[in-house]
Chain A
Amino acid sequence: MNLAAADEKPVERRIPAIADPAVNGSMTRSPLAYTNNMVEPTRHEHDAPPTPKVTVESLNFFYGAVQALHNLSFVLAENRVTALIGPSGCGKSTFLRCFNRIHDLYPGTRYEGRITLHPSGTNIIDKSVDPIEMRMRIGMVFQKPNPFPKSIFENVAYGLRLKGITNKNELCDRVEIALKSTAIWEEVKHRLHKSAYEMSGGQQQRLCIARTIAAEPEVLLMDEPCSALDPIATGKIEELIRELRKKYAVLIVTHNMQQASRASDYTAFMYLGKIVEFGPTQQIFTNPTVKDTEDYVTGRFG
Chain B
Amino acid sequence: MDSLAVIVARRKRQDKLFGALGIACTSLGLIMLVVLLGDLMYQGFGRINWQFLTSFTSRRAGSAGILAAWVGSLAVMCITGLTAVPLGVAAGVYMEEYGRKGRINTIIEVNIANLAGVPSIIYGLMGLGVFITLFDFGRSFLTGGLTLALLILPIVIVATREALRTIPVHVREAAYALGATKWQVVRHHLLPYSLGGITTGVIIAMSRAIGETAPLIAVGAVAYLASLPQPAPFSGEFPFVSFEWIESPFTVLPILMFNWTSRPQADFQSNAAAAGLVLIAITLSLNAIAIFIRYRARRRIKW
Judged by a CB distance under 8 angstroms, whether B180 is at the interface is yes
Nearest A-chain residue to B193, judged by Cβ? A149
- Residues of A contacting B173 with CB < 8 Å? 102, 105, 142, 146
- Residues of A contacting B188 with CB < 8 Å? 158
Judged by a CB distance under 8 angstroms, whether B165 is at the interface is no
Judged by a CB distance under 8 angstroms, whether A63 is at the interface is no
A107-B100, A107-B101, A195-B300 given; A146·B174 CB < 8 A: yes
Judged by a CB distance under 8 angstroms, whether B30 is at the interface is no
Nearest A-chain residue to B100, judged by Cβ? A107
Judged by a CB distance under 8 angstroms, whether A48 is at the interface is no
Chain B residues touching A, range: 20 to 34
- Residues of A contacting B168 with CB < 8 Å? 146
Chain A residues touching B, range: 20 to 34
Q: Is the interface of B mostly helix, strand, loop or mixed?
A: helix
A136 touching B178 by the CB < 8 A rule?
A: yes
Judged by a CB distance under 8 angstroms, whether B184 is at the interface is yes
Judged by a CB distance under 8 angstroms, whether A174 is at the interface is no
B176 touching A142 by the CB < 8 A rule?
A: no
* Whole-angstrom distance between the Cβ of A105 and the nearest chain B Cβ: 6
B178 touching A212 by the CB < 8 A rule?
A: yes
A105-B176, A149-B300 given; A142·B170 CB < 8 A: yes
In the assembled complex, the Cα of A208 lies from the Cα of B300 at a distance in Å of: 19
- Residues of B contacting A147 with CB < 8 Å? 174
- Residues of B contacting A73 with CB < 8 Å? none
* Whole-angstrom distance between the Cβ of B130 and the nearest chain A Cβ: 35
In the assembled complex, the Cα of A144 lies from the Cα of B179 at a distance in Å of: 19
- Residues of B contacting A225 with CB < 8 Å? none
| Residue-wise interface mask of A (135-162) relative to B, using a CB-CB cutoff of 8 A (1 in contact, 0 not) | 1100110101011110000000011001
**In this complex, which of B170, B178, B188 has the most chain A Cβ atoms within 10 angstroms of its Cβ?**
B178
A133 touching B101 by the CB < 8 A rule?
A: no
Q: Which of chain A's residues 150-201 have a Cβ closer than 8 Å to chain B?
A: 158-159, 162-163, 195, 197
- Residues of A contacting B179 with CB < 8 Å? 132-133, 135-136, 159, 162-163, 215
Interface residues of B (CB under 8 A from A): 100-101, 168, 170-181, 184, 188-189, 193, 300-302
